[in-house]
Structure 1
Amino acid sequence: MAESPPDDVSTKETNPGLQSSVSIETCPGMEETDDRGNEGEKTKEIIIVDPDTEELDMNHQKIGRLENLEPLTKVERLYFRWNLIKKIENLESLVTLKELELYDNQITTLENLDSLVNLEILDVSFNRLREIKGLDQLHKLKKLFLCANKISHIQNLCHLKDLTLLELGDNKIRVIENLEGLENLKCLYLGKNKITKIENLDSLKMLEMLSLQSNRLTKIENLDSLTLLDQLYLSENGLTKIEGLERNVEISTLDLASNKIRVIENIEHLSKLEEFWLNDNLVGDWTSVQNLTSNKKLVTVYLEHNPVASDPSYRRKLKIMLPWLSQIDATLCR
């Protein structure tokens, strides 16, 4: 497993806490999309060649408008990545549609989706949305991708009972709220926002993956009800202590990189822990590192860019202390 670095270009695809079907780091951001579609740029029309197709791929075609889709009576998957679409429209006849991808366009509003009653996957990442709305009839929705927009509030989602994945990374969200009713949610991505507190997650009993990287957190708290949590990503925050994980005994991946933590503690009970990323912190005492000897299933440990890593015998000491390790930082153990 690769290191969990900060939330910037250097992360690429190495950090699953910042990924869903797309990667925030490897695709163009809002600044780039705003430069496209200038006045006078010629856009293309959608031409249907096979009305019986179940999948239509129109990625990167300079499509300017959703239109001429009425002949598609059997279509289940529509892909319109990297186009110049400004409005969601003219989809009323596509009742068979299960997946709609509008990633990286110029859409400002979620609208005109009511007829898509069989939709299971909706991706409107890298657009210009400011509000979550217009999803009232999408009761079969399982995966919703809204990363890299300008959304400031989590709202209008509680009716999506079948939702298993929600991607809201790289927005302007300050408060975790209004997630009640998402009883089947397994993956929640909230990285790269402005969140100051872990809260209001008690109803998410089925949650297995939580990403809160690159926010403004100062404390690990309010995770007691997430007893099925398997992956927790909290890098690039202001955390000073490892705490609040008493009931999260299923965790196998714990990412606390790039915080202000001085002591490795309160994880001895995590008997299933395999990946522990604590690089770029303030751990300077080998006695603290000794606490990892209780975690017998550890495979990978990242401690580089901590004071202990400046020890000339750093790798040797760590391997002697934890002989079951397969990887120390980015290098496999011999």
Structure 2
Amino acid sequence: MSSPKEKIEGEKHAEIGDAEDLDKTGESAATVNEIMIIDPDTTELDLNHGRIGKMQNLEPLHNIERLYLRWNFIKKIENIETLTTLVELELYDNQISKIENLGTLVNLEMLDLSFNKIKEIEGLEHNLNLKRLFLSSNKIHKIKNVQHLKNLELLELGDNKLREIENIEDMSSLSYLYLGKNKITKIQNLDTLTNLKCLSLQSNRLKKIENLDKLVNLTELYLSENILTNIENLENNTKLETLDLAQNKITSIDNLGHLTELEELWMNDNEIADWASLQNLEENKKLATVYFERNPFAQDPMYRPKLRRIIPSLTQIDATLCH
């Protein structure tokens, strides 16, 4: 006998057809009961790419733990108050403008509302068990109404309209913080996030590496596509394994010798012209992958052999493996 998921997938392939022909307004969208028969005992329901325009007829799902509604035409979170067993809810790439009607979902651990039309973080007052919250590619201007989420381990707010890192000081459980592709001008208000392992601030407006000294557990730091001119203030980040400083305005490699755990260094598309500064990487004995292409010094015809002499541990230079 086919599983509930297999039945749903089969019905989607047989009945839904090509969603590209649909009006994106949702006027031609289906409802849940039009594309499937709900098995009330299912714990996982995949309705991705289902042409669904409205959340309804989900009440029979008294055991549901994971509900996936990616790539639909849903405009409102609704009619899920009875789904109290939900642990994961995905509404990625819909047309939702407000976070609402989640108050009874007290067991929710993962919520994905990326690629919607949300302007404000709200409606999460009772979702205290959340561990992962994805809100990338919305229209959010301010980080707020998340401080109470003490169990949150991952917060994704990339590709929004943020100008400041704020209102996350009490979120000491955070391990992964993604704030890339915003309008942030300063690294700040992170001192209390001592469990942070990964920090992404790519594609912002940062001029200086600063205020990271308390983040002693960082293993990944992504600062590409900013306007940085110097490598500095990483003295306490000795656990760093990956450092991405690509596409900035850095002219010299400095202050990295103490990063003895560093394995990957991305510095392509900067302004490094002098080979002498490359000697500063001799102390990074674990360095295996570097990206230096489109720096002035990388025009040297002996670019790869020279790099390998300076850093014998390399296994990859730019996109090419070393032999």
Displacement after TM superposition at 1:321 (Å): 1.1
- 1:37 paired to 2:24: yes
Q: How does 1:199-238 map to 2 (within 5 A)?
A: 199-238=188-227
Match of 2:14 in 1: none
Q: Partners of 1:236 and 1:201 in 2: how far apart?
A: 21
Judged with a 3 Å threshold, the aligned counterparts in structure 2 of structure 1 residues 54 and 305 are, in CA distance, closer, same or farther, namely: same
Q: Partners of 1:190 and 1:265 in 2: how far apart?
A: 25
Q: Partners of 2:156 and 2:307 in 1: how far apart?
A: 36
Displacement after TM superposition at 1:324 (Å): 1.3
- CA offsets 1:78-134 (integer angstroms, 9 cap, x no match): 000000100001111111000000000000000000000000000000000000000
Matched residue of 1:100: which SS?
strand
Stretch deviating more after TM superposition (319-328 or 270-279): 319-328
- 1:180 paired to 2:180: no
Stretch deviating more after TM superposition (222-231 or 36-45): 36-45
- CA offsets 1:269-297 (integer angstroms, 9 cap, x no match): 00100000100000111110110001011
Match of 2:187 in 1: 198
Matched residue of 1:271: which SS?
coil
Q: How does 1:272-287 map to 2 (within 5 A)?
A: 272-287=261-276
Pairing partner for 1:63 from 52, 65, 75 = 52
Count of residue pairs brought into register by the alignment: 301
Matched residue of 2:70: which SS?
coil
Amino acid at match of 2:256: I
Judged with a 3 Å threshold, the aligned counterparts in structure 2 of structure 1 residues 319 and 229 are, in CA distance, closer, same or farther, namely: same
Q: Which runs of 4+ in 1 moved over 6 A?
A: none
Displacement after TM superposition at 1:36 (Å): 5.2
Match of 2:17 in 1: none
Conserved 8 A contact 1:257-1:277:
yes
Q: Partners of 2:159 and 2:218 in 1: how far apart?
A: 22
Pairing partner for 1:300 from 279, 284, 289 = 289
Q: Which has the higher contact order (CA 8 A, sep 6+)?
A: 1
- 1:106 paired to 2:95: yes
Q: Partners of 1:171 and 1:36 in 2: how far apart?
A: 26
Displacement after TM superposition at 1:323 (Å): 1.2
Q: How does 1:132-211 map to 2 (within 5 A)?
A: 132-211=121-200
Q: How does 1:70-109 map to 2 (within 5 A)?
A: 70-109=59-98
- 1:258 paired to 2:247: yes
Q: How does 1:21-36 map to 2 (within 5 A)?
A: none
Matched residue of 1:166: which SS?
strand
Percent identity among equivalent residues? 61
Match of 1:23 in 2: none
Normalised TM-score (structure 1) = 0.88
Q: Partners of 1:107 and 1:191 in 2: how far apart?
A: 22
Amino acid at match of 1:303: F
Conserved 8 A contact 2:26-2:53:
no
Q: Once superposed, what is the RMSD of the aligned Cα atoms? A: 1.3
Q: Which runs of 5+ in 2 are unaligned?
A: 1-19
Conserved 8 A contact 2:206-2:227:
yes
Displacement after TM superposition at 1:138 (Å): 0.4
- CA offsets 1:227-278 (integer angstroms, 9 cap, x no match): 0000000000000000010100000000000000000001110010000010
Amino acid at match of 2:180: G
Q: Partners of 2:232 and 2:122 in 1: how far apart?
A: 36
The structure with more radius of gyration:
2
